[in-house]
Amino acid sequence: MLDIKTIRKDFPILNQKVNGKPLVYFDNAATSQKPKVVIDAITAYYQEINSNIHRGVHTLSQLATDAYEATRTKLKTQYNVKHIHEIIFTRGTTESINLVASSFTSLIKKDDEIIISALEHHSNIVPWQLLCDRTGAKLKVIPMNKIGELIISEFDKLLNKNTKIVAVSHVSNALGTINPIKEIIKKAHKFNAVVLIDGAQATPHMQVDFQDLDCDFYCASSHKMYGPTGIGFLYGKEDWLNKLTPYHGGGEMIKQVTFEKTTYADLPHKFEAGTPNIEAGIVFGEAIDYINKIGLDNIANYENELLVYATEKMLQIDGLKIYGTANKKASVISFNIGDIHPFDIGSIVDKLGFAVRTGHHCTQPIMAFFGIVGTIRASFSFYNTKEEIDAFVVALEKAKMMLS
């Protein structure tokens, strides 16, 4: 059992008031709050070892380099990565996907096919559309059903010898659906297709094992995992990373530069041009340590308890409809109340201290599928409580009364 009262003390922001009301933060799918150990680590970096990395022989540079690379080592352990150089630091999930999509340009030709799913965030749609525009490849979409699950039988029909890349999310940010990615990966590999997994919404909530999944690429972001913004990672199998051309050019990613020719550095630096977000890279490691201290199994079990509780309580509100009722879900509830615009509900509950997300959540195709402009999204973390959910239901009832 988690000691939620003690855990909440680790997050200073939860103690404040918003609009004169105690803050209830239910926007964790957008970004998570940061524990004090993470906040303190940011200050410590700038006060104690601020320096550029990988290039200096002086002590501060070596200390900063060691701290930065320690996070890469933690990621290797966390996700059961075979080689440490298969971890590439990026600005986050979006850049990781763009890196792969851009670097595949020379390997994709006209009439090749790329498969994504109807549940994707725009970040896992647009980069593949751009790749198709550059190469003449065709984009195919795995459809979804009314409860927000992918129709795997239709995926089977899409797969063929022309399929080169399959890119799907591990967990839907809009609906919370946990996709059967291990099954998807296995099916895609039968056709020698490369599989990229958008793991932004999975890594904060569950244990992920890259060797068990056998994915070719996996992407995630620190800021979803109680760490700083501006840092994330791309995991890629060594063979594929060696085949791909660099996404960015500049310092750090070179072995030798002449005006006639440049040769690239070995992995992972081949894909890490320029001065990185050093502070965030170091502090990302602190966030990983904090997650492991709490325990991902403990987090998953408690957040599922919150999801079940909130679903039951919220459905007692007359006219409330939940979008995304998959059998396997993360702690996300996307909903509307009658014909009331989600923005109006969100604005009122904000005045009552509740932080929720409203709109299309960067998943306009999902909203079009349901024939709506958007939803209100409440997304829970392990520092949330059932008491907050009870108060949220009261706030929703009040908003409904005011807007009806």
Specify the DSSP element, H or E, that contains 7. helix 4-9
- Residues with active-site annotation: 362
Q: Residue 1's pLDDT is what?
A: 79
Which residues does the chain have with pLDDT short of 70?
A: none
Do 83 and 222 lie in one domain? The reply is yes
Instruction: Enter the tokens of residue 258.
Output: 């002449």
Q: Tell me which residue of 326, 327, 325 sits closest to 335, measured CA to CA.
A: 325
147 within a domain of the structure (yes/no): yes
Answer yes or no: do 222 and 279 share one domain: yes
Q: Do residues 276 and 176 share a domain?
A: yes
Burial class of 153 by CB neighbour count within 10 A (0 to 12, 13 to 18, 19+):
exposed
Rounded CA-CA distance 352/18 in Å is: 8
Phi, psi at 188, each rounded to 5°? -65, -40
Q: Is residue 245 part of a domain?
A: yes
Q: Do residue 55 and residue 182 come from a single domain?
A: yes
Q: Is 349 exposed, middle or buried (0-12, 13-18, 19+ CB in 10 A)?
A: buried
Q: How confident is the model at residue 328, as a pLDDT?
A: 98
Using DSSP's 3-state secondary structure scheme, residue 333 falls into strand
pLDDT digits (tens, 9 = 90+) for 37-75: 999 999 999 999 999 999 889 999 999 999 999 999 999
Cα–Cα dist 252/269, whole Å: 6
For residue range 305-329, list pLDDT tens digits in order: 999 999 999 999 999 999 999 999 9
Q: Are residues 284 and 304 in the same domain?
A: no
Cα–Cα distance between 248 and 102 in angstroms, integer? Answer: 10
Distance CA 86, CA 271 (A): 11
Residue 34 domain flag: no
Q: Which two tokens stand for residue 88?
A: 């590439």
Question: What is the CATH classification number for the domain harbouring 329?
Answer: 3.90.1150.10
Helix axes of 342-351 and 386-403: crossing angle, nearest 10 degrees:
120
218, 345: one domain: no
- Can you give the pLDDT at residue 281? 98
Q: Are residues 128 and 153 in the same domain?
A: yes
> Backbone phi, then psi, for 17, in 5-degree steps?
-110, 145
Task: Tell me how many domains the chain contains.
Answer: 2
The whole-number pLDDT of residue 55 equals 80
Domain end (from 265, 292, 319) = 292
Domain coverage including residue 144: 51-292
Predicted pLDDT of residue 253: 87
Strand partners, 150: 144
270's CB contacts (< 8 A; 6+ apart) are 241, 246, 253, 264
Q: How far is residue 221's CA from residue 204's CA, in Å, rounded to a whole number?
A: 9
**286 in the same domain as 246:** yes
Same domain? For 216 and 136 the reply is: yes
Predicted TM-score (pTM) of the model is: 0.97
Mark which of 253, 274, 292 sits at the end of a domain: 292
